[in-house]
């Protein structure tokens, strides 16, 4: 993909400024309607999810105390994986977005909740809520575009280092939570110079992350295995597998949110003086949904409704499904592309892009032109 502004056929070229503001007004109306009807039903939903998650986690960890027996290991590991996914996706991510702040329950509040994740809630909230959700898909501003280690857009410059990006992406998927922690710390940038390395703020934040990781590690790899007695090694392995399963799952879901074909990116200067309507439009075109079963939606923390989530990051996640048809109707009416697809297709699409962009933009053309006379090599460049 190329930033929207440089495309030959601009997908929003047919919209007048009035159209864009009207889209904004309609989306605001959808938002207002949800806020006006937030209540006991929504509160009961999140409490139910939390209750199921905690019971599943307790039960799975209890079963794993006997993980020496293969059936116990299998059931316990599967249960723990699901519990860990629920905690990070439908519970943690969404609480930290402030989706449930309106309940005024200090246990379910964005300022008090700490999640089962390597990155401390405070740091993740800054990197994710303030940066990614504000500068969504703006090349050079939104570090979620490739997390600073990958090239996921034609308009990002190619370096030979990117040849290895399919491998990086695989490693990142396996250890995703640590990747996020490093990313929230802006490790690459902050380790670059001595001055940055010694910055007291950076040092304090690093300490915070290490403390969090130590707590996470102690739970999964020391206390729980030791409590399992003779099953110690099996329980340790179970925890490791559950963490990897969650990492790969969250990584896949998140790749599906912004990387699949059809998702637009934006030029840095295009957001100067952006109106509310234009901001909405960028979120609409910069995100992609996943379609599937209700269970799949819950397991993705309703990030399968990535478009709705990016339009309204602080609305309760159980409402995204309800407003999706209304949001889609706006896309259809204004002739905009509502990107969605089943999970395997979207994951494949995102991975295809990771592979393709590991090579320079004109690689295909160069290969094809190898047999032709010199001079015509760049003449046949496709638009992208």
Of positions 11, 59, 215, 360, contacts another protein by CB under 8 A? 215
CB of 115 to another protein, least distance (A): 7
Residue 339 near residue 13 (C-beta atoms within 8 A): no
For residue 200, the SS3 value is helix
Of positions 106, 273, 371, 382, contacts another protein by CB under 8 A? 106
Nearer to another protein, 147 or 176 (CB): 176
Among the residue ranges 14-22, 105-113, 259-267, 329-337, the one whose residues contact another protein (CB under 8 A): 105-113
Q: Does 10 bind another protein (CB under 8 A)?
A: no
Q: Does 90 bind another protein (CB under 8 A)?
A: no
CB of 32 to another protein, least distance (A): 15
Residue 347 near residue 248 (C-beta atoms within 8 A): no
Give the CA count within 13 Å in the CB-facing half-sphere of 118: 19
Distance in angstroms (rounded) separating the CA atoms of residues 213 and 226? 19
CB of 51 to another protein, least distance (A): 6
Of positions 105, 261, 267, 274, contacts another protein by CB under 8 A? 105
- Going by DSSP bridges, is the β-strand pair 289-291/340-342 parallel, antiparallel, or unpaired? parallel
Element of type H or E holding 124: helix 121-125
CB of 273 to another protein, least distance (A): 21
Q: Does 134 bind another protein (CB under 8 A)?
A: no
Distance in angstroms (rounded) separating the CA atoms of residues 218 and 213? 8
Instruction: Single out the residue of 260, 300, 232 nearest to residue 88, CA to CA.
Output: 300
For the chain, report the end-to-end CA distance as a whole number of angstroms.
Answer: 7
How many CB atoms are closer than 10 A to CB 5? 15
Of positions 16, 70, 104, 160, contacts another protein by CB under 8 A? 104
334: burial class by Cβ within 10 Å (0-12, 13-18, 19+)? middle
Nearer to another protein, 2 or 129 (CB): 129
Give the number of residues in contact with another protein, rule: CB under 8 A.
36
Among the residue ranges 9-17, 64-72, 178-186, 221-229, the one whose residues contact another protein (CB under 8 A): 221-229
**Which 29-68 residues touch another protein, going by CB under 8 A?**
38-44, 51, 54-55, 58, 61
Distance in angstroms (rounded) separating the CA atoms of residues 110 and 122? 9
Nearer to another protein, 62 or 171 (CB): 62
Backbone angles phi and psi of 55, in degrees to 5: -70, -40
Convert residues 112-131 into a mask of x (bound to another protein by CB under 8 A) and - (unbound): x-xxx---------------
Q: Does 216 bind another protein (CB under 8 A)?
A: yes
The C-alpha angle with vertex 94 and arms to 286 and 78, in degrees rounded to 5, equals 105
Nearer to another protein, 32 or 114 (CB): 114
Of positions 134, 193, 218, 335, contacts another protein by CB under 8 A? 218
Among the residue ranges 9-17, 63-71, 215-223, 365-373, the one whose residues contact another protein (CB under 8 A): 215-223
Instruction: List, in sequence order, every beta strand (DSSP E) within 47-153.
Output: none
DSSP state of 3: B
Residues near 325 by beta carbon (within 8 Å), at least 6 away in sequence = none
Of positions 98, 140, 166, 262, contacts another protein by CB under 8 A? 98
Instruction: List, in sequence order, every beta strand (DSSP E) within the chain.
Output: 289-291, 340-342
Q: Does 224 bind another protein (CB under 8 A)?
A: yes
Q: Does 109 bind another protein (CB under 8 A)?
A: yes
Q: Does 227 bind another protein (CB under 8 A)?
A: yes
Q: What value does the CA radius of gyration of the chain take, rounded to a whole number of Å?
A: 22
Q: Which residues bind to another protein, rule: CB under 8 A? A: 38-44, 51, 54-55, 58, 61, 98, 101-107, 109-112, 114-116, 212, 215-216, 218-219, 222-224, 227
């Amino acid at each position: 993909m190329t930033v929207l502004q440089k495309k030959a056929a601009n997908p929003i070229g047919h919209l007048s400024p009035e159209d864009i503001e009207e889209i904004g007004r309609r989306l605001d109306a959808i938002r207002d309607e949800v806020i006006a009807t937030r209540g006991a039903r929504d509160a009961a939903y999140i409490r139910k999810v939390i209750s199921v998650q905690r019971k599943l986690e307790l039960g799975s960890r209890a079963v794993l105390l006997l993980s020496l027996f293969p059936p116990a290991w299998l059931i316990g590991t599967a249960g723990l994986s699901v519990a860990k996914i629920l905690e990070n996706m439908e519970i943690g991510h969404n609480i930290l977005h402030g989706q449930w702040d309106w309940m005024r329950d200090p246990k379910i509040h964005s300022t008090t909740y700490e999640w089962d994740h390597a990155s401390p809630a405070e740091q993740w909230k800054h990197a994710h809520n303030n940066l990614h959700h504000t500068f969504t898909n703006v090349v050079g501003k939104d570090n979620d575009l490739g997390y600073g280690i990958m090239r996921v857009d034609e308009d990002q410059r190619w370096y030979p280092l990117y040849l290895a990006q399919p491998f990086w992406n695989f490693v990142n998927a396996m250890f995703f939570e640590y990747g996020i922690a490093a990313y929230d710390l802006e490790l690459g940038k902050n380790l670059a110079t001595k001055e940055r390395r010694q910055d007291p703020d950076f040092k304090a934040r690093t300490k915070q992350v290490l403390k969090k990781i130590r707590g996470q590690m102690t739970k999964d790899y020391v206390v729980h295995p030791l409590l399992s007695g003779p099953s110690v090694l099996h329980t340790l392995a179970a925890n490791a597998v559950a963490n990897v399963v969650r990492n790969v799952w969250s990584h896949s879901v998140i790749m599906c949110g912004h990387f699949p074909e059809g998702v637009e990116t934006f030029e840095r200067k295009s957001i100067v003086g952006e109106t509310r309507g234009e901001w909405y439009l960028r979120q609409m075109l910069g995100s992609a949904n996943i379609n599937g079963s209700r269970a799949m939606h819950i397991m993705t923390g309703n990030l399968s409704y990535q478009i709705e989530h990016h339009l309204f990051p602080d609305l309760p996640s159980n409402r995204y499904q309800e407003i999706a048809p209304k949001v889609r109707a706006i896309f259809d009416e204004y002739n905009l592309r509502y990107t969605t697809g089943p999970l395997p297709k979207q994951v494949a699409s995102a991975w295809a892009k990771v592979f393709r962009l590991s090579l320079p933009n004109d690689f295909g053309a160069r290969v094809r032109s190898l047999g032709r006379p010199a001079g015509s090599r760049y003449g046949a460049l496709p638009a992208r």
